[in-house]
Structure 1
Amino acid sequence: MTKAERIDRIATILILLLALAVVGLVITVLGLILIPGISHISWHFLTSSSQSFETGGGIFDQLFNSFYLVVLTLLISVPLALGAAIYLNEYAKQNWFTDSLRLAIEVLSSLPSIVIGLFGYLVFVLKWGLDFSLLAGALVLTILNLPLLTRTSETALSQVPNLQRQAGLGLGMAKWQVILKIVLPAALPGILTGAILSAGRIFGEAAALIYTAGQSTITVNYQDWNPFSPTSFLNPMRPAETLAVHIWKLNTEGLIPDASAVSSGAAAVLVLTILLFNLGARLIGHLISKRLEK
């Protein structure tokens, strides 16, 4: 064996060990969360309301609030991020302005969520008068997730071959028609993947929501479809404790006797849901890619 081959083998072993260390760390963290938590998950736990001072409570309201907040945030953030990505990739020229815009997006992505949460509390809750509400939480999570959504959407658009754009323009299509009918459908798998990954981050966020969506859950009427009713489940102006905030609250206050069990079960549900979001992103992206190839 030559010296170059020995160095190559050593480097390969080191890279393999580092990869195994990362996999082992992930498995360890998942095991520490899922093993004690799965035993507490039951149908009653998932479908019953939480208790303030008694045992036997569930997480249904917090789970519903988390999914509702994901939908509300994506409805606001996806059009904004997609518009920014289309401008940066399709219309903007490479100059100091676009460089500054991309730098601002990178800076925004590096801000701690607690800082964005405090900003949301000062602006959305106090200045705009939204109080603690789902809408205030959705707006602050929009700020938090715009960098990720914008980057993934711009990357997906940039991977569409220029020949497809030139073919559309050659057929007499306007530029906006080329983007709408050719570029966006081709970039759809990457855009959807980024949106679903962002949904997983929204679902697991807690710090920014403590100051915007609130830490209390009112008694919600799930038969009331009027979005303007104060107790309607569709009302975006009601305060709503999400699953991640509920876990934080249980571990800081611990007022119920079985706080540890509820916290472990809720954490396991949270982790499993985020894993499903990530697996769903890969599956949907793969299926759409296969369909577009036909």
Structure 2
Amino acid sequence: MTSKTTDRAATLFFWASGVVIMLLLAWFLVRILGDGLPQLSWNFITGKPSEVMAGGGVGPMLFNSFYILFLSLLFSVPIGIGAGVYLSIYAKQNRFTDFIRISVEALSSVPSIVFGLFGFLLFVNLLGLKFSIIGGAATLSLLNLPVLVRVTEESLRSVPESYWEASLALGSTRWQAIRKVLLPAAMPILITGITLVAGRALGESAILIYTAGLSVSRHFPDFSPLAMGETLATHLWYVQSEAIVPDAKKIAQGSAALLLIVVLIFNLCIAIPSKMIQKRLTGGK
């Protein structure tokens, strides 16, 4: 087989792979949105759920989804970025740091239900937080940490070393070089990493079933971190498996469509500013 034939075959294969992925994505969106969009209404999106009567909404679950996401990022982003900066800049290259990196990579591949069981034992039972928003957010932050650490370390290593050397040559301290040079230069990749973990957190259910519970507060919105915090993803699982309301299927379809729309809008709201920041840092190239 000649090199030209090989090139054409490879091009055809990659084009076919891309088309298949796009078709699967289109089918996925059409199937979920086609069934769920007719169920969406203002009353459904903002209303309270119903355990017996038809016509309940998902307002508290939608609120809890963003509240738990905010708290989990509040815990995990500073620690994850700090650990990534330490491994990239301050840590010496030895067996101990290699062991830490291997451990972080191993944690990033652990199934989420394992984190859920760990959070149940630690936060719900040992610390006595019971099923609560704070327990779910703390456990969710543990799920986010390995990814954030690796993304931060790799993003800092992708910054040209000349930036670091030039900053130190001008008299900057290490912290000043990190804060004013490395982190701004690595910001687009960091934002992408935070977007990925945030999108995953919005759709997470296994962890929150064991830590945040399958019920919501009687008050809406309830900012108490000790209140039970059923999210939209866990509510979707609940109505599909255990709910006794007569319109459980319609609620599940609407919840799935709403969750998909929320994740897409959330990712776009972060991705667009990230692209603008990247263009500004690269001079519009």
TM-score, L = length of structure 1: 0.92
Letter in 1 for 2:205: A
1:241-256 superposed matches below 5 A: 241-256=230-245
Is the CA contact 1:165–1:178 (under 8 Å) kept in the aligned structure 2? yes
Paired with 1:167 and 1:5, the residues of 2 have a C-alpha distance of: 46
CA distance, structure 1, for counterparts of residue 162 and residue 54 of structure 2:
63
Task: Give the number of aligned pairs.
Answer: 283
In 2, Cα distance between the equivalents of 1:94 and 1:172?
25
Is the alpha carbon distance of 1:293 and 1:7 closer, same or farther for their aligned partners in structure 2, counting shifts above 3 Å? closer
How far does residue 221 in structure 1 lie from its aligned partner after superposition? 4.5
Residue 71 of structure 2 corresponds to residue 82 of structure 1: no
Contact 1:156 1:190 in 2 (8 A): yes
**Matches of 1:185 and 1:111, distance apart in 2:** 31
Which residue is equivalent to 2:281?
292
Amino acid at match of 1:207: A
Alpha-carbon displacement from aligned partner over 1:175-210 (angstroms, at most 9, x marks no partner): 111111211122222212211221111110000100
1:205 corresponding residue in structure 2: 204
1:169–1:48 Cα change, 3 Å:
same
One-letter amino acid of the structure 1 residue matched with residue 235 of structure 2? H
Q: CA deviation at 1:72?
A: 0.3
SS in 2 for 1:139: helix
Tell me the distance in 1 between the aligned counterparts of 2:5 and 2:220: 69
Q: Does structure 2 conserve the Cα–Cα contact (< 8 Å) formed by 1:132 and 1:213?
A: yes
Identity %: 44
**CA shift at 1:168, angstroms?**
1.4
CA distance in 1, matches of 2:151, 2:274: 13
Asked if 1:257 corresponds to 2:246, the answer is: yes
TM-score under structure 2 length normalisation: 0.95
Compute the displacement of 1:110 (Å): 1.1
Q: Is the 8 Å Cα contact of residues 51 and 243 (structure 2) preserved in structure 1?
A: no
Deviation digits for residues 59-112 of structure 1, max 9, x if unmatched? Answer: 100000000011000000001100111011111122211211111111111111
Which residue in 2 is equivalent to 1:228?
none
SS in 1 for 2:264: helix
Partner of 1:157: 156
Runs of 4+ off more than 4 Å: none
C-alpha deviation, 1:291, in angstroms? 2.8
Q: What are the within-5 Å matches in structure 2 for residues 1-294 of structure 1?
A: 3-222=2-221, 233-294=222-283
* In structure 1, C-alpha distance between the alignment counterparts of 2:143 and 2:173, rounded to whole Å: 34
Distance 2:33 2:229 in 1: 25
Matched position secondary structure for 2:211:
coil
Q: CA deviation at 1:3?
A: 2.9
What are the ranges of 5 or more consecutive residues in structure 2 without an aligned counterpart?
none
Q: Which one is further off, 153-162 or 82-91? A: 153-162
Task: Work out the CA distance in 1 between the residues paired with 2:176 and 2:3.
Answer: 55
Cα distance in 1 between the residues matched to 2:192 and 2:58: 28
Greater Cα offset, 2-11 or 62-71: 2-11
1:129, distance to aligned residue in structure 2 (A): 0.8
CA RMSD for the aligned pairs?
Answer: 1.4
Q: State the distance in 2 between where 1:22 and 1:289 align.
A: 27
Give 1:247's aligned amino acid: L
Read off the aligned partner of 2:171 and give its amino acid letter. G
> AA paired with 1:60?
G
Mind listing any 5+ residue stretches in structure 1 that lack a counterpart?
Answer: 223-232
Structure 2 counterpart of 1:195, which letter?
I
